[in-house]
Structures are given as C-alpha cells and as structure tokens.
C-alpha cells in the first residue's frame, strides 16, 4: 500500500494541513466518542427519570400477586406490560448514557436483578423467560429512541 502524499488525507479525500492532523488514538478524544463534562443539574435531569422508573418497576415487582383472573389473557397482558415497562427503561437509559450497548447491558442487568428480587417476594417467582421478555423490551426501547428523527439523547 502506497502512503499518501504529505498533506493528503486518505479518509477525507482531500487535503488536510499537517497542523490540523491529530495522531490516532488522540483523534477520538475530541470527537463524539468523548463528550465534555456534564453539569450536576444536567446529570440529575438525565438520571432522575431512570431512577424513578426503575423504582416503579421495583415497586410493582414487590406486589405479591398482580393476577387479573383473566386466565390466558392474564399471562399475555403481564408479558406485554413487562415488555413495555422495560422498553421505557431502555429509552431512558439510552438518553442518560448516550450509547446503545451500555444502555442495553444496563437494562438487561436490571431485568435480571428484578427477577432475583421477585424470587424473594411471596406469591412471585423468578423466570428466565421474563428476563428474555424484559431484554427484548429494553432493546426495542433503545432502537425506537435511536430511530427517532429528533435527538432525545443528551
């Protein structure tokens, strides 16, 4: 592979003065990969909804029996509710963290901890399929927020 001529960037297709070049990996430090410092007020605005929503999920998980007596529909409606509440959590985590993978990972970890919590609540049980439904909800919330034309992140 031939090296480009001095002052020619192989990435931009044009000329870049040497004074504007930043050697890798330092080039990524100033870009969108590393954001500047976030003020305390901004951090509170980003994380307060996440904490409140996670608290709501924890509170609902502490209720011994949420059955409606609708038979099969009861199971379907509860799984839809699981999916939706974790989709909201996924979107809030993406908004707070600003990156998809950490938001999905944090949502799945919270879903697993929620199922562990339910194991100790009388009348409730922990189920791997609930973690899977919750994880799908987190992923859907992250993808939905990411696909919006306006940026609700950071």
Q: How many domains does the chain have?
A: 1
Percent share of the chain, pLDDT over 90: 41
Looking at the domain assignment, is residue 138 inside a domain?
Answer: yes
Looking at the domain assignment, is residue 81 inside a domain?
Answer: yes
Looking at the domain assignment, is residue 13 inside a domain?
Answer: no
Looking at the domain assignment, is residue 104 inside a domain?
Answer: yes
Looking at the domain assignment, is residue 154 inside a domain?
Answer: no
What does pTM read for this prediction? 0.70
Residues 116, 85, 48: CA angle, nearest 5 degrees: 90
Render pLDDT for 11-28 as a digit per residue (tens, 0 to 9). Answer: 655 666 666 665 555 445
Domain that holds residue 43: 38-147
Overall average pLDDT of the 146-152 stretch: 74
Q: Which residue has the higher pLDDT, 37 or 132?
A: 132
Render pLDDT for 80-96 as a digit per residue (tens, 0 to 9). Answer: 999 999 999 999 999 99
Looking at the domain assignment, is residue 89 inside a domain?
Answer: yes
Residue 34: asked if its preceding bond is cis (omega within 30°), the reply is no
Residue 118 DSSP one-character state: H
């Amino acid at each position: 592979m031939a090296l480009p001529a001095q002052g020619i960037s192989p990435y931009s297709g044009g000329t870049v003065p040497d004074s504007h070049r930043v050697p890798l990996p330092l080039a990524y430090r100033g870009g969108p990969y590393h954001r500047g410092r976030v003020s305390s007020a901004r951090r509170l605005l980003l994380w307060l909804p996440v904490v409140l929503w996670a608290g709501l999920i924890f509170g609902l998980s502490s209720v011994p029996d949420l059955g409606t007596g609708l038979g099969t529909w009861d199971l379907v409606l509860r799984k839809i509710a699981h999916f939706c509440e974790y989709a909201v959590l996924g979107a809030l985590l993406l908004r707070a963290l600003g990156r998809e993978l950490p938001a999905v990972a944090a949502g799945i970890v919270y879903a697993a901890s929620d199922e562990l919590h339910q194991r100790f609540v009388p009348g409730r049980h922990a189920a791997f399929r609930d973690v899977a439904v919750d994880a799908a909800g987190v992923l859907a919330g992250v993808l939905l927020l990411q696909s919006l034309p306006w940026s609700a992140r950071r």
